[in-house]
Structure 1
């Protein structure tokens, strides 16, 4: 590869990095947080509750969930869990500013139970996606 081609590739790489940095600054913090922790697949459910919302995604037999706070700010207790029927739940809980998760389980064709909480408020789905 000649030096001209190498310089063009380096310039293109620098442009891409600069553009992605500018885009990251333009996106609101809550959208950034949700995007950063999002799951693969398509969203099949949204479970809203007082201080947040749990987004549930499915892809190729896998179910993934993430809890997103409505008002990001100071760290507070947050959690998300997904349990495929017949298995133990997979849980992420702790003190977070924006989101808990993602957590993923292989459900196949089984029902799942999804839970999420922000602060003292929570949501529980019951058995879904059966």
Structure 2
């Protein structure tokens, strides 16, 4: 009788061990590349669809499930400088972040659905405007 009970425990442990091993392999294959490709310091969800460079920095744009997120990143960090970033879906109001920052402005996110968006970013008086994109 004890042989039947022991084999059940062994099967459960093997099943658990197999599940843990499968999860570890999956994380090893998927984990390293996705975090850096999907977000700037984990600020925006989704995948990076555009980078808009300009003389004092860049604006990174991300898209995920109808939402568009943008972050303005300074080329040189340290001293506080005036920075701003905004995202506007066609027909909607813009989401904005403006202030004196050392590294970045944003993130700002809007629900765009399938509409075009207009993204702007400015750092120390220099900036970029995308025009209507992601249509």
TM-score, length basis structure 2: 0.70
Aligned to 1:48: 53
| Rg comparison, structure with higher value | 2
Aligned to 2:118: 113
For residues 75 and 127 of structure 2, the distance between their equivalents in structure 1, rounded to whole angstroms, comes to: 13
Aligned to 1:98: 103
Aligned to 1:89: 94
Aligned to 1:67: 72
Q: Given the superposition, is the C-alpha separation of residues 115 and 94 from structure 1 closer, same or farther in structure 2, using an over 3 Å criterion?
A: same
Show CA shifts across 1:28-61 (max 9, x none).
xxx9xx8436310000000000000000000000
> Which runs of 5 or more residues in structure 2 are unaligned?
1-35
Instruction: Report the alpha carbon displacement of residue 120 of structure 1 after superposing the two structures with TM.
Output: 1.1
Structure 1 segments of 4+ aligned residues over 3 angstroms from their partners:
34-37
DSSP 3-state at the match of 2:91: coil
Alignment of 1:19-58 (within 5 A): 35-36=40-41, 38-58=43-63
Aligned to 1:26: none
For residues 115 and 69 of structure 2, the distance between their equivalents in structure 1, rounded to whole angstroms, comes to: 14
Q: Tell me: higher relative CO, structure 1 or 2? Use CA pairs within 8 A at least 6 residues apart.
A: 1
Question: Cα RMSD over matched residues?
Answer: 1.5
Contact 1:37 1:102 in 2 (8 A): no
DSSP 3-state at the match of 1:36: coil
Number of aligned residues: 98
